[in-house]
């Protein structure tokens, strides 16, 4: 197990290196840079010399190889540089928003798991009955409705029926739990609905498959209670694909809540990412991409470890 | 001799190599001064904190010479730069700056400049205390300074900013408010919800007509709507370095085909655009009067005649079935509706246009590099000063923000003349001459001026609407009638 972990962590290095190289060069292929946006984006009348001076200050005038070397050295030393827009360390910019984004992602995941596993199980056990049809209708709607649209409907509903809106600025949960929850519960629900639909469908199809397996028939033949058959024998195996989906969806939420964050005016990583891209803030974009890559890789690792926990046949790194 | 150069100085020299080589001695004095002033901008980018600027009289073999000592902060043990030149003539409108007492600054001018007072009030320029610059030379980028009605409370980037009442504000009894909270919102729909729900009490930049109508319909007499023409302008720019837009007949044809009168009515319902106007904001002191504007080709009511003339010009130029790409910015307001409107206008004279919208960065990159046929450009003026408004129309070698890349010495001459003219009527006439030349050559032509719509809750009192969203935001006179 320890050897497997070390192996996987070492494998992260070439993956992250590949991401770092790709994002560095892809950004520089796109025409335009941050200096034009910063100094001329609002109609400022500046000379070419001013543009050049700012490019020099930001190091954009240096040869690409030198810029790349600095980026690599920064990565190795965990110094990802300063935002070209705000002149603040990118880690500070990300840190300011990561707490909110992580909380929404965790709340949405909890919501999705709590809803999806019972819903998917019930749907599978009552396959082709009206219960199954109702659950499938709810889950298909969840897949079809974009989260941001649901978010807009939630906001308009709160405004119309209760003349109340969630807070528009973030308060950490340790400062004021009520204010925090009253702001973040709504985006978590909006995102969690789609999330739960994806997971519920996966749970349903897995359980339907598992329930046909020989060991389920054997358990029943031994006289095991049906509830125990489902809980102990079916669920344990059926949850494996669901864990993969839950992991991937969680990783997606870290950088993928772009529109939902704007609808709820959340100062999160998704909004920061969009702003960084629209401004061509190279250092910030690179840092956020690396963060998302790390989240995906770590989540995949955690999913693989959970596989071993749920399925005794899997012995990670074993001989 | 040691030829090692300071890295900062090396960058300056490298930048100097990129400056267009203009022989200032060959230009008329007024024009040369304008060019010189424009060239000074980069060197004022990050002012080094100075402890003292002192005018000196230095004894010389042929009599006393004038000199100026710039003494930086940080002690006297500094390297010395001696800069000398042989005299002759000097540029720049400000001759000397003196501070006879702590509350007075005296600017002595070399030339009359009617825009000087306005330039002192430019919201793009900031005043920083010498002690703050000495402590942090990067202060203008990272710190807030000033003598305004509020002190900075908290600034959470991307979220909000708060201010608390400055009890030492120089105006007695102001500000009325104990503080304010400004929220950064990027989604117009979120802003509308927040306004409707009472979470924010004003949106001071400007909203669209559709958003205004929604607020009025839902909030009734709880919302106040104020409207004004705006110191923002959309322009159609022709790349004069590309064929066939190097031909004035093609440019004029496309200019004549735009029915600005109909556009003003139609677009005003959906976009933040409204007033047809010349190069100076309609309604401002130096603007062309509407009855005169109606006589200008391209701004009249007889669009059928204008379009017939446009088709004739295209035939004469040999491009009756012209096809090109319209380069536009990917912003909903007002760029998208403006682009769609233009495509339709040009289609009516047989011109086929592909409307291509880009995000701000590639859009600006295309404009700067000249990688476009025809583009929608904009000007964002902080005040109604003709020298500011007309600067975008100066020759490309003087004003890189002139995206048409045209060189026109006559327009440069007229610009310089109006910028020195102190008599209102004479300056007004010079601006009309400049405008006529701009319309005749049609390197770039105004499309429509923007229209500002500001919603405030009825309880917000004392705020004054202005045509510029860059001004009048200090909230010193605002109070709440709750």
The number of residues in chain A equals 319
Residues of chain A with Cβ-Cβ distance to B48 below 8 Å are: none
Domain co-membership, B240 together with B105 = no
Q: Find the mean pLDDT for residues B111-137.
A: 78
pLDDT of residue B107: 84
From B446's Cα to the closest Cα of chain A, the distance in A is 15
Least confident of A205-214, B3-12, B199-208: B3-12
Q: What are phi and psi of B86, to 5 degrees?
A: -85, 15
pLDDT of residue B21: 64
Q: Note whether A44 contacts B380, CB cutoff 8 Å.
A: yes
The token pair at B342 is 């233009």
**B328 vs B403: CA distance, rounded Å:** 13
DSSP letter at B220 equals G
Q: How far is CA B133 from CA A54, A136, B72, B143, in A?
A: 19, 65, 11, 10
**B447 vs B260: CA distance, rounded Å:** 7
Q: Find the mean pLDDT for residues B255-282.
A: 94
Other residues' Cβ atoms within 10 Å of the Cβ of residue B199: 19
Domain co-membership, B126 together with B238 = no
Which of B361, B393, B398 to mutate: most A Cβ within 10 Å? B361
From A317's Cα to the closest Cα of chain B, the distance in A is 45
Domain co-membership, B287 together with B427 = yes
Domain co-membership, B296 together with B402 = yes
pLDDT of residue A18: 94
How many structural domains comprise chain B? 2
Q: Note whether B362 contacts A32, CB cutoff 8 Å.
A: yes
The answer, yes or no, to whether the previous bond of B244 is cis (omega within 30 of 0) is yes
ipTM for this prediction: 0.84
Q: Shortest CA distance to A265 belongs to which of A162, A181, A185, A170?
A: A170
Other residues' Cβ atoms within 10 Å of the Cβ of residue B301: 12
DSSP helix, strand, coil percent of chain B (3-state; round to 5): 35, 20, 45
Q: Note whether A96 contacts B364, CB cutoff 8 Å.
A: no
Domain co-membership, B139 together with B234 = no
pLDDT in tens, B328-363: 999 998 999 999 999 999 999 999 999 999 999 999
**Which contiguous run of DSSP H or E holds residue B38?**
helix B29-40
pLDDT of residue B379: 92
Residues of chain A with Cβ-Cβ distance to B46 below 8 Å are: 57
Q: In chain A, where are the structural domains located?
A: 2-76, 99-310
Q: What's the CATH code of the domain at B378?
A: 3.10.105.10
pLDDT of residue B45: 47
Q: Does residue B109 sit in helix, strand or coil?
A: strand
Residue B259 resides in a domain:
yes
* pLDDT of B90 higher than 60: no
Other residues' Cβ atoms within 10 Å of the Cβ of residue B217: 9
- Tell me the mean pLDDT per 10 residues along chain A, length 319: 81 91 91 87 81 89 93 91 91 93 95 94 93 94 92 92 92 94 95 94 93 89 87 85 90 85 92 92 95 92 84 64
Look up tokens 């980018």; give the residue.
B45
pLDDT level of residue B18 (50, 70, 90 thresholds): low
DSSP β-ladder status, B352-358 and B223-238: unpaired
Look up tokens 């007889």; give the residue.
B302
**A295 vs B225: CA distance, rounded Å:** 47
**B266 vs B239: CA distance, rounded Å:** 28
> Number of helices (H) and strands (E), helices first, in chain A?
14, 0
Considering the four listed CATH numbers 1.10.3720.10, 1.10.150.20, 3.40.710.10, 3.30.70.20, the one that applies to the domain covering A99-310 is: 1.10.3720.10
Q: Note whether B156 contacts A46, CB cutoff 8 Å.
A: no
From B393's Cα to the closest Cα of chain A, the distance in A is 12
Nearest CB to B42; choose among A43, A53, A155: A53
Residues of chain A with Cβ-Cβ distance to B401 below 8 Å are: 40, 45-46
Q: Note whether A169 contacts B160, CB cutoff 8 Å.
A: yes
pLDDT of residue B430: 96
Residues of chain B with Cβ-Cβ distance to A47 below 8 Å are: 38-39, 41-42, 400
Residue B46: left (phi > 0), alpha (psi -120 to 50), or beta?
A: beta
Domain co-membership, B238 together with B138 = no
Q: Find the mean pLDDT for residues B263-281.
A: 93
Q: Find the mean pLDDT for residues B161-189.
A: 93
Q: Find the mean pLDDT for residues B11-20.
A: 65
**Which contiguous run of DSSP H or E holds residue B444?**
strand B444-457
Residue B260 resides in a domain:
yes
Residue B350 resides in a domain:
yes
Residue B222 resides in a domain:
no
Q: What are phi and psi of B247, to 5 degrees?
A: -95, 120
**B317 vs B95: CA distance, rounded Å:** 50
The token pair at B205 is 């930049």
Look up tokens 């004004």; give the residue.
B228
Residues of chain B with Cβ-Cβ distance to A53 below 8 Å are: 11, 15, 42, 45
What beta strand segments (E) does B4-75 contain?
50-58, 65-72
pLDDT in tens, B455-481: 999 999 999 999 999 888 889 999 999
CA B13 from chain centre, in angstroms, equals 28
Look up tokens 């749920």; give the residue.
A310
**B288 vs B91: CA distance, rounded Å:** 32
Residue A65 CA neighbour count, 13 Å, CB half: 0
Q: Which residue of B has its CA nearest to A163?
A: B197
The answer, yes or no, to whether the previous bond of B334 is cis (omega within 30 of 0) is yes
Look up tokens 């649901």; give the residue.
A150
Nearest CB to A86; choose among B157, B194, B360: B157
Q: Between these two residues, B18 and B305, which has the higher pLDDT value?
A: B305
Q: Find the mean pLDDT for residues B172-183.
A: 94
Look up tokens 């600006």; give the residue.
B364
Q: Note whether A271 contacts B185, CB cutoff 8 Å.
A: no
Domain co-membership, B133 together with B251 = no
From A212's Cα to the closest Cα of chain B, the distance in A is 50
pLDDT of residue B88: 45
**B274 vs B288: CA distance, rounded Å:** 16
pLDDT of residue B16: 65
Residue B177 resides in a domain:
no
Q: Which residue of B has its CA nearest to A49?
A: B42
**A201 vs A213: CA distance, rounded Å:** 19
Please work out, in degrees rounded to the nearest 5, the angle formed at the alpha carbon of residue B439 by the alpha carbons of B378 and B336: 30
Q: Note whether A49 contacts B369, CB cutoff 8 Å.
A: no
Residues of chain B with Cβ-Cβ distance to A180 below 8 Å are: none
pLDDT > 90: percent of chain B = 60
Q: Are B434 and B414 in contact (CB under 8 A)?
A: yes
Domain co-membership, B245 together with B376 = yes
Q: Between these two residues, B88 and B297, which has the higher pLDDT value?
A: B297
Burial group, residue B283, by CB count within 10 angstroms (0-12, 13-18, 19+): middle
Q: Note whether A31 contacts B369, CB cutoff 8 Å.
A: yes
Q: Shortest CA distance to B279 belongs to which of B445, B87, B123?
A: B445
Which of B21, B190, B218, B219 to mutate: most A Cβ within 10 Å? B190
Other residues' Cβ atoms within 10 Å of the Cβ of residue B309: 18
Residues of chain A with Cβ-Cβ distance to B142 below 8 Å are: 87-88
Nearest CB to A165; choose among B156, B197, B368: B197
Which residues lie below 8 Å from residue B396, measured CB to CB, with a gap of 6+? B402, B404, B405, B406, B407
Please provide the DSSP assignment of B224-290 as one string: EEEEEEEEEEEEEEE-TTSTTTTSHHHHHHHHHT--HHHHHHHHTTTSSB-----SS-TTSTTSPPH
pLDDT of residue B381: 87
Domain co-membership, B235 together with B139 = no
**B110 vs B108: CA distance, rounded Å:** 7
* pLDDT of B26 higher than 90: no
Q: Which residue of A has its CA nearest to B161?
A: A169
Structural domain containing residue B305: 230-451
Which residues lie below 8 Å from residue B274, measured CB to CB, with a gap of 6+? B229, B264, B267, B268, B448, B449, B450, B451
* pLDDT of B49 higher than 70: no
pLDDT level of residue B62 (50, 70, 90 thresholds): low
Domain co-membership, B134 together with B249 = no
Which of B12, B35, B37, B42 to mutate: most A Cβ within 10 Å? B42
pLDDT of residue A66: 94
Residue B201 resides in a domain:
no
Please provide the DSSP assignment of B137-192 as one string: TTHHHH---S--SEEEEEEETTTEEEEEE-TT-SSTT---SSEEEEE----HHHHH
CA B377 from chain centre, in angstroms, equals 12
Nearest CB to A49; choose among B15, B138, B391: B15
**B70 vs A303: CA distance, rounded Å:** 65
Residue B113: left (phi > 0), alpha (psi -120 to 50), or beta?
A: beta
**A148 vs B196: CA distance, rounded Å:** 20
Q: Are A206 and A238 in contact (CB under 8 A)?
A: yes
């Amino acid at each position: 197990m320890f050897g497997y972990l070390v192996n996987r962590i070492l494998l992260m290095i070439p993956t992250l290196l590949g991401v770092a190289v790709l994002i560095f060069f892809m950004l520089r292929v796109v025409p335009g840079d941050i200096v034009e946006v910063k100094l001329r984006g609002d109609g400022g009348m500046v000379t070419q010399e001013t543009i050049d001076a700012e490019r020099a200050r930001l190091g954009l005038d240096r040869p690409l190889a030198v810029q790349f070397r600095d980026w690599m050295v920064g990565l190795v030393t965990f110094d990802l540089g300063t935002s070209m827009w705000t002149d603040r360390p990118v880690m500070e910019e990300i840190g300011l928003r990561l707490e909110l984004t992580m909380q929404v992602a965790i709340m949405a995941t909890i919501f999705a798991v709590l809803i999806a596993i019972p819903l998917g199980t019930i749907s599978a056990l009552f396959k082709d009955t009206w219960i199954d049809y109702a659950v499938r209708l709810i889950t298909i709607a969840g897949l079809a409705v974009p989260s941001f649209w649901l978010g807009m409907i939630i906001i308009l509903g709160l405004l119309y029926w209760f003349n109340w809106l969630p807070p528009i600025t973030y308060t950490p949960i340790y400062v004021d739990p009520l204010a925090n929850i009253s702001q973040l519960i709504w985006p978590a629900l909006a995102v969690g609905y789609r999330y739960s639909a994806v997971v519920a469908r996966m749970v349903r199809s897995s359980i339907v498959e598992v329930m046909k397996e020989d060991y389920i028939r054997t358990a029943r033949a031994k006289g095991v209670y049906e509830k125990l058959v489902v809980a102990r024998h079916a669920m344990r195996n059926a949850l494996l694909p669901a864990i993969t989906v839950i992991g991937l969806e969680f990783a997606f939420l870290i950088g993928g809540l772009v529109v939902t964050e704007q609808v709820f005016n959340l100062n999160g990583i998704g909004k920061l990412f969009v702003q960084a891209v629209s401004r061509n803030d190279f250092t910030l974009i690179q840092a956020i991409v690396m963060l998302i890559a790390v989240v995906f890789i770590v989540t995949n690792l955690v999913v693989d470890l959970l596989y071993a926990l749920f399925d005794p046949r899997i012995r990670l790194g074993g001989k | 001799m040691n030829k090692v150069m300071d890295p900062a100085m090396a960058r300056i020299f490298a930048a100097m190599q990129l400056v267009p080589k203009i022989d200032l001695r060959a230009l008329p004095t007024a024009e040369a001064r304008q060019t010189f002033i424009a060239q000074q901008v980069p060197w004022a980018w990050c002012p080094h904190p100075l402890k003292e600027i002192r005018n000196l009289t230095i004894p010389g073999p042929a009599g006393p010479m004038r000199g100026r000592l710039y003494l930086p902060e940080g002690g006297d043990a500094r390297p010395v730069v001696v800069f000398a030149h042989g005299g002759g003539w000097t540029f720049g409108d400000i001759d000397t700056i003196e501070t006879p007492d702590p509350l007075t600054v005296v600017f002595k001018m070399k030339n009359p400049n009617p825009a000087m007072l306005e330039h002192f009030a430019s919201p793009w320029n900031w005043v920083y205390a010498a002690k703050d610059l000495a402590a942090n030379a990067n202060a203008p980028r990272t710190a807030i300074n000033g003598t305004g009605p509020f002190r900075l409370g908290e600034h959470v980037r991307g979220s909000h900013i708060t201010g608390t009442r400055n009890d030492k504000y120089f105006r007695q009894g102001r500000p009325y408010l104990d503080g304010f909270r400004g929220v950064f919102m990027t989604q117009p729909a979120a802003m509308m919800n927040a306004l409707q729900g009472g979470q924010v009490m004003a949106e001071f930049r400007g909203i669209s007509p559709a958003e205004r109508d929604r607020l009025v319909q839902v909030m009734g007499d709880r919302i106040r709507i104020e409207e004004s023409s705006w110191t923002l302008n959309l322009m159609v720019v022709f790349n004069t370095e590309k064929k066939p837009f190097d031909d004035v007949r093609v440019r004029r044809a496309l200019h004549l085909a735009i029915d600005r009168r109909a556009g003003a009515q139609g677009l005003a319902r959906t976009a933040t655009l409204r007033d047809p106007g010349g190069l100076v904001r309609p309604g401002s002191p130096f603007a062309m009067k509407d009855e005169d504007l109606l006589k200008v080709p391209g701004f009249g009511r007889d669009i059928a005649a204008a379009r017939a003339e446009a088709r004739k010009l295209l035939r004469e130029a040999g491009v009756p079935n012209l096809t090109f790409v319209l380069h536009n910015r990917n912003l909903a307001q007002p760029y998208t509706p403006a682009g769609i409107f233009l495509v339709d206008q040009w289609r009516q004279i047989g011109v086929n246009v592909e409307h291509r919208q880009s995000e701000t960065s590639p859009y600006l990159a295309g404009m700067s590099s000249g990688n476009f046929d025809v583009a929608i450009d904009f000007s964002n003026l902080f005040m109604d000063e003709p020298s500011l408004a007309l600067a975008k129309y100066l020759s490309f070698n003087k004003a890189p923000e002139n995206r048409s890349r045209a060189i026109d010495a006559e327009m440069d001459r007229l610009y310089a003349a109006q910028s020195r003219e102190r008599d209102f009527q004479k300056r007004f006439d010079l601006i009309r001459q400049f405008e006529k030349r701009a319309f005749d050559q049609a390197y770039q032509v105004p499309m429509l001026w923007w229209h500002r719509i500001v919603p405030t809750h009825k309880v917000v009192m004392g705020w004054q609407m202005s045509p510029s969203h860059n001004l009048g935001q200090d909230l010193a006179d605002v109070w709440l009638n709750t």
